[in-house]
Chains A and B, each alone.
Chain A
Amino acid sequence: MDQLLPAEIVEAGGAFQGALAACADLDALLRLKGAYVGRDGSHASRLMERLKAAPKEQKRDLGAAINALKQQWEEGLKVRQAELEAAKKSLHAQASQWDPTLPPPVPAHGALHPLNRLMDRLVDVFRPLGFHVEEGPEAETEAHNFDGLNIPEDHPAKASSDTFYFAAHPELLLRTHTSPVQVRTLLRVAPTLAERGGIRFLAPGRVYRKDEIDPTHSPMFHQVEGMLVGHNIGMQHLKGTLEYALRALFGPHTEIRLRPSYFPFVEPGCEVDVSCPLCGAKGCRVCKGSGWVEILGAGLIHPNVLSYAGIDPTEWSGWAFGMGVERMSMMLSQTPDLRLFFENDQRFLSAMGGLD
């Protein structure tokens, strides 16, 4: 049969499947269609001319061969067109879809400072026990910072080597602890203490001591002071409150330990240790293998502190504690250098502060 067809058509017929597969898009397919089955100049139209010119006895066979060929071409084109159309459709569909693993737009996230976060947390822990927050100025009088706290007049902490004083106001200093807030608050509430039924508060804040800046010292740091005044308050109430608070902070299995110590504004005084929150008291680098870490200083309010504020120490009693926020933050986070807290690198703040 093929011998009836011209050589170039036979060759084109043989190349058809390859050409068809090579059509990458509908435009190429349209061009191929024109070349094979188009009205003018296509292989099919040339075959039809050949058929017209063929001798009569060949016409039938030739006609059948041409038809078969045309049909084969048209069929092939149709299938390929469907394929290409489907591919195009699916591309369209993909173009309106986005890979869900592409990094999405994330709303900006900032952070609270880790020191503030810890102080906020302490306030949260003491709120259910009825503690509120009292605050006082950083520029304080010597009377509030020292005298009202039963600190002797010749105490070394008063020296200008330890405490910052104001040049134009020699009686004013930068408070060296949050304890003057005790004095201010007690002075304020003394006249109404009975109606209030005592007082209980926390005093978080910034304090200043004349220490050179190094990995463990800073001339400004933070403390949280706690105080409670009521009737018949003893060491058991200090222990009970701190046990509650430190368990709320570090977990229900936390143990606390009171050790005798001395601070002029309390009597009896104590240091409070907590079972190491990092190793569960098994012994680690932080607790130096002892299972305990020192967390705060506390005691029963010295009667002189109550008297200074005009509160009768034979009727009222109370406890107070003071805690170093940086020290506790460093212990909990194992931050190696105190200066990181004041450098304010966003990487540190994001990682350590975060959001509550």
Chain B
Amino acid sequence: MWIERKVLAQEIPAVAGMDTRQLCELLASLGFPVDGVVQREGTEVLDVDITANRGDVMSHRGAAREISAKLGQPLAPIPAAGQPEGPPVVPVRLESPACPVYSTAVLELGRGETPQGIQAFLSALEASAKKLPAVDASNELLHRYGHPTHAFDADRIKGAVTVRWAEAGESVVTLDGVARSLTAQDLVIADESGPIALAGVMGGDSTKVTEATTRVLLESAYFDAKTVRAMARRHSLHTDASHRFGRGADRAMPRVARDLLVDRLQTWCGAKLVGAWTAGSEGLASPAVVLEERLMNRVAGEPVPLAEAAEAFQRLGCAVEAAGDHLKVVPPSWRHDLSIAEDLAEEVLRLRGYERIPSVLPPLEGPPEPLSPLYLQRQRVSRRLAHLGFHQTVTYGFISPEADAAFSAPGNEPGGRTLANPLGQEYSVMRGSLLPSLRAAAEQNLRQGAREVRLFELAPTYASGPKGPVEQYALGVVWGGIRGGEDYLSPARAVVEADLGGVAQALGLESLPQVRPLGEGLFAFEVPVTALPQPTTRIIPAFRPFSRFPVVERDLSLLVDLGQSHAVLAQAMKAALPADALQDLRCVDVFRHKSLPEGRQAWLMRLRFQAERTLVGEEVDGWMASALAAAESLGARLRA
């Protein structure tokens, strides 16, 4: 909200001598930070941030009231000449409790213009003057005192004025020229022809004030906040008036604002008052709220004398009654945010200054809880992968249905994970797999000239369930491009599927996950985090003895079929060997060449033996013979 400095100083003279920075800090200390200061119309204008609970501060008067309370400095009086009220010129009927009071007046406009100073004030607030005194006065009043009012062309109103709920099927063309169809939840101002304004939101086109207008009917009412909020939302019509009524206006203001408006029109253009009157009444004061000393002191973190608190409330315009260890506080008509004791405590702290709050560490009342194993596991896996050379990515949880379909598990129907109101089709499905996002990130890196790409993500994936999407953390790893070749010792080669197998093994995955090709030289796997080894409760695993006797290492070069499974071969060979002596058996080299018999390849199998004694050559020879025999039974031959 824009606050013009000179006008603010007219409401609270104490700020006239303040420098801008001081004023900004003062407003921030009250809870209204200043987002910027600009020069407009030869004056300084502050962009003040008003929180949603404080509609009462959305005016120069409102901001001044806050400053006055904080500084204990007086506000300028409101120069309202109380207009004598008389009988209604036009009948006004209030048919809904959403409008308890409606002050109005009918005036005959004279000749005259909106004063230059007022036009400049409105321009400074980026609210351009319409040069129609009735319209400009209403607008100026809103920014100055915060109470929205409206002027109708009285000659275009047909018969009595009623504030009532709209009937289904009714409509009104608002000032912006848009035809609005109404519902029974819309509060309208109506004449005998039907609705002529959306109450508290916007006036109607058929009764608007123009240059031809000679008689105006003023409206200065109170409209229920919730009703106005709902209407503004329903019609997507967020106006200066709806912002203020929607946050709660001042019930005591309708008559005052009407009088101020009449006064302006009389002064600016010699308007003649035909009659002023009020329908309904302002209603009862807000209920009292009790603030106990104990709660006040607990919130403040130190004893706050009740007398000091009482004084703060008085400065804020509350009625206060002290009673022993508590205060009974009746908030002023403009405050709608003071309904519980904590609200009151905050007010006292605000006026005392948050800088006075002591700084104390809260005592532990019970033992701290450990971090959950699942959380710790994700932390460890992330670090492990980062140390293995992978970069952690963060990608959006929603992807396109096409990308999702390519990777989600069969049976994981996208319907249960689809957003009703996505940003666009490409962000519409909560992903069933991390791989589409990882592929996109990997391809983007390769396009950008990366020689090698290694990425991983740990994030929830979604599965459609009867009660809604079920989330499960998954790990996705993608690797592609050329590895090595960046120094004189590491040869360059393309990343292959087996490299991903190595990563899976390094992470301790019990069974190798399915490695999926994601495109040219790009491979990936994805596993639910639950498949990763869980941290055990043991700090250090149980001791397992190991042999200190020498290791015997033997190689066996075999010719095997091109389709031979290593796992099967190794299993068969292991089965033929003493489990207590065989330490390891694996293929350490694969040789494929046209010099070999067609359909065959050469595998160099390395066997390591170790036992709780020194092994003798003959027994190892015997084992090697058994191993070979086992291999031969699967069609392998010793390579000559």
Contact, CB under 8 Å: B468 / A344 = no
Interchain CB contact under 8 A, B487 and A103: yes
Interface string of B353-390 (1 = CB under 8 A from A): 01101111111111111111001000100110111111
Determine if A95 is an interface residue (Cβ-Cβ < 8 Å): no
A139-B388 contact given A108-B454, A219-B427, A220-B396, CB 8 Å threshold: no
A165 touches B420 (CB 8 A): yes
One of B46-54, B271-279, B568-576, B614-622 at the interface: B46-54
Measured between beta carbons, the chain A residues less than 8 angstroms from B230 are 154
A343, closest chain B residue (CB): B444
Q: Which of B260-268, B337-345, B589-597 has 4 or more CB atoms under 8 Å from chain A?
A: B337-345
| Contact (Cβ within 8 A) A198 B365 | yes
* A302→B342 contact, CB < 8 A: yes
- Bound-state Cα–Cα, A197 to B365, Å: 5
* A-contact bits for B53-75, CB 8 A (1 contact / 0 none): 11000000000000000000000
Q: Is A159's CB under 8 angstroms from B233's CB? A: yes
Known contacts A110-B392, A132-B370, A174-B419: does B299 contact A356 (CB below 8 Å)?
Answer: no
Q: Chain B nearest CB: distance from A93 CB in Å?
A: 19
Q: CA A233 – CA B298 in complex, angstroms?
A: 7
Is A355 part of the binding interface, using a Cβ–Cβ cutoff of 8 Å?
A: yes
Closest B residue by C-beta to A319:
B362
In the complex, the chain A residue whose C-beta lies closest to that of B375 is A133
- Contact A166 to B417, CB < 8 A, known contacts A110-B385, A139-B468, A260-B346: yes
Q: Which residues, 77 to 103 on B, are CB-close (under 8 Å) to A?
A: none
Q: A268-B346, A344-B441 in contact; A169/B416 too (CB < 8 A)?
A: yes
Distance of A298 from chain B, by nearest CB (Å): 11
Residue A196 at the chain B interface, CB threshold 8 Å: yes
A271 beta carbon closer than 8 Å to chain B: yes
Shortest CB–CB separation between residue A289 and chain B, in angstroms? 10
Counting CB contacts under 8 A, is A322 at the interface? no
- Let me know if B333 is at the binding interface, CB within 8 A: no
What size tier do the contact residues of chain B reach?
35 or more
A132 touches B369 (CB 8 A): yes
Flag whether B22 is at the interface (Cβ < 8 A).
Answer: no
Q: Does B636 contact A (CB under 8 A)?
A: no
The answer to whether A259 touches B387, judged by C-beta atoms less than 8 angstroms apart, is no
Contact of B453 with A by CB under 8 A:
yes
Is there an interface contact between A170 and B420, defined as CB atoms closer than 8 Å? yes
Q: Is the CB of A262 within 8 A of B54?
A: yes
Q: Bound state CA distance, A208 and B428, in angstroms?
A: 13
**Neighbour of B423 across the interface among A102, A210, A268, CB < 8 A:** A210
Stretch binding the partner chain, chosen from B4-12, B24-32, B250-258: B24-32
CB distance from A62 to the nearest CB of B (A): 61
Flag whether B239 is at the interface (Cβ < 8 A): no
- Known contacts A169-B468, A268-B346, A345-B444: does B394 contact A112 (CB below 8 Å)? no
**Given A260-B31, A345-B445, A346-B450: A109 and B394 interface contact (C-beta under 8 Å):** no
CB within 8 A of B383: which of A104, A112, A165, A260? A112
The interface-forming segment of A31-39, A40-48, A236-244 is A236-244
B564 proximal to A (CB < 8 A):
no
Question: Which one, B298, B388, B416, contacts A108 given CB within 8 A?
Answer: B388
Residues of B within 8 A of A355 (CB): 383, 386-387
Q: Which of B54, B371, B385, B468 contacts A133 (CB 8 A)?
A: B371
Q: Are A240 and B361 in contact (CB under 8 A)?
A: yes
Q: Is A269 an interface residue when CB atoms closer than 8 A count as contact? A: yes
A129 to B357 CA separation, bound complex (whole angstroms): 21
Q: Give Cα distance in the complex from A32 to B332, angstroms.
A: 119
Known: A109-B389, A172-B469. A116 touches B421 (CB 8 A): no
Q: Which residues does chain A contribute within 8 Å of B423, judged by CB atoms?
A: 210, 212-213, 219
Q: Which of A303-325 contact B (CB under 8 A)?
A: 303, 317
Is B115 in contact with chain A by the CB < 8 A criterion? Answer: no
Total inter-chain residue pairs, C-beta < 8 Å:
264
Contact B420 A262 (CB under 8 A): no
CA distance A260 to B25 in the complex (A): 12
Helix, strand, loop or mixed for chain A's interface? mixed
Report chain B residues within 8 Å CB of A344.
391, 393-395, 441, 444-445, 455
Partner among B299, B358, B372, B469 whose Cβ is within 8 Å of the Cβ of A268: B299
- Which among A107, A170, A196, A234 has the highest number of chain B CB atoms within 10 Å? A234
Q: Which of A137, A160, A212 contacts B471 (CB 8 A)?
A: A137
Question: Do residues A132 and B372 form an inter-chain contact, with CB atoms below 8 A?
Answer: yes
Q: Is A181 an interface residue (CB 8 A)?
A: no
Q: Is the Cβ of A133 less than 8 Å from the Cβ of B418?
A: no
A230 contact from B226, B365, B421, B467, Cβ within 8 A = B365
Expressed in whole angstroms, the Cα–Cα distance for A108 and B392 within the complex equals: 14
Interface string of B536-561 (1 = CB under 8 A from A): 00000000000000000000000000
Q: Which of A140-171 contact B (CB under 8 A)?
A: 154, 156, 159-161, 164-170
- CB <8 Å contact, A166 and B444: no
Q: How far is the CA of A230 from the CA of B362 in the complex (A)?
A: 9
Chain A contact residues (Cβ within 8 angstroms of B): what range? 35 or more
Interface membership of A130, Cβ < 8 A:
yes
B489 close to A (CB within 8 Å): yes
Q: How far is the CA of A164 from the CA of B428 in the complex (A)?
A: 10
**Chain B 276-294 interface residues, beta-carbon cutoff 8 Å to A:** none
Answer whether residue A63 sits at the interface, using C-beta atoms and an 8 A cutoff.
no
Provide the B441-459 mask, 1 if CB < 8 A to any CB of A, else 0.
1001100101001111001
Q: How far is the CA of A127 from the CA of B469 in the complex (A)?
A: 32
Q: How far is the CB of B53 from chain A (nearest CB, A)?
A: 5
Complex: chain A residue closest to B415, CB-CB: A168
Write the nearest CB–CB distance from A95 to chain B, whole angstroms.
14
B396 x A342 contact (CB < 8 A): yes
Residue contact B299 to A300, C-beta cutoff 8 Å: yes
Max count, chain B CB within 10 A of own CB: residue among A127, A219, A241: A219
Do the beta carbons of A113 and B31 come within 8 Å of each other?
A: no
Decide: B357 and A103 in contact? CB cutoff 8 A: no
**Closest chain A residue to B232 by CB distance?**
A156
B394:A342 contact, CB within 8 angstroms = yes
Assembled-state Cα–Cα distance A343/B386 (Å): 18
Which residues of chain B are within 8 angstroms of A135 by Cβ–Cβ distance? 372, 375
The answer to whether A219 touches B445, judged by C-beta atoms less than 8 angstroms apart, is no
For the complex, give the distance between the alpha carbons of A350 and B450 in Å: 13
* Cα-based distance from A44 to B345 in the complex (angstroms): 120
Q: Is A70 an interface residue (CB 8 A)?
A: no
- Judge whether B51 and A262 touch: CB under 8 Å: yes
Q: Does A106 contact B (CB under 8 A)?
A: yes
**Which chain A residues in 236-258 approach chain B with CB under 8 Å?**
236-237, 239-241, 243-244, 257-258
Closest A residue to B488 using CB positions: A102
Residues of A within 8 A of B455 (CB): 344, 346
Instruction: Check if B327 is an interface residue, CB within 8 A of chain A.
Output: no
- CB neighbours (8 Å) of B372 from chain A are 132-133, 135
Say whether A353 faces chain B, with CB atoms less than 8 Å apart.
yes
A232 at the B interface (CB under 8 A): yes
Shortest Cβ distance from residue A58 to the other chain B in the assembled complex, whole angstroms: 66
CA distance A343 to B437 in the complex (A): 10
- Residue from A130, A167, A219, A303 with most neighbouring chain B CB atoms (10 Å): A167
A166/B387 in contact, CB under 8 A: no
- Chain A interface residues (CB < 8 Å from chain B): 102-113, 115-116, 120, 123, 127, 129-133, 135, 137-139, 154, 156, 159-161, 164-170, 172, 174, 195-198, 200-201, 206, 208, 210, 212-213, 219-220, 222, 228, 230-237, 239-241, 243-244, 257-262, 267-271, 300, 302-303, 317, 341-346, 349-350, 353, 355-356
Pick the 4 closest A-B CB pairs, nearest first: A197-B366, A108-B389, A236-B301, A260-B31
Cβ contacts A to B, 25 pairs, < 8 Å: A105-B487, A110-B387, A110-B392, A111-B392, A130-B368, A132-B369, A133-B375, A160-B421, A164-B421, A164-B422, A174-B397, A197-B365, A206-B397, A213-B423, A220-B396, A230-B363, A233-B362, A240-B361, A257-B354, A259-B28, A260-B350, A341-B394, A344-B441, A344-B445, A345-B445
4 more CB-based (< 8 A) A-B contacts, given A110-B388, A355-B386: A154-B226, A156-B233, A261-B51, A268-B345
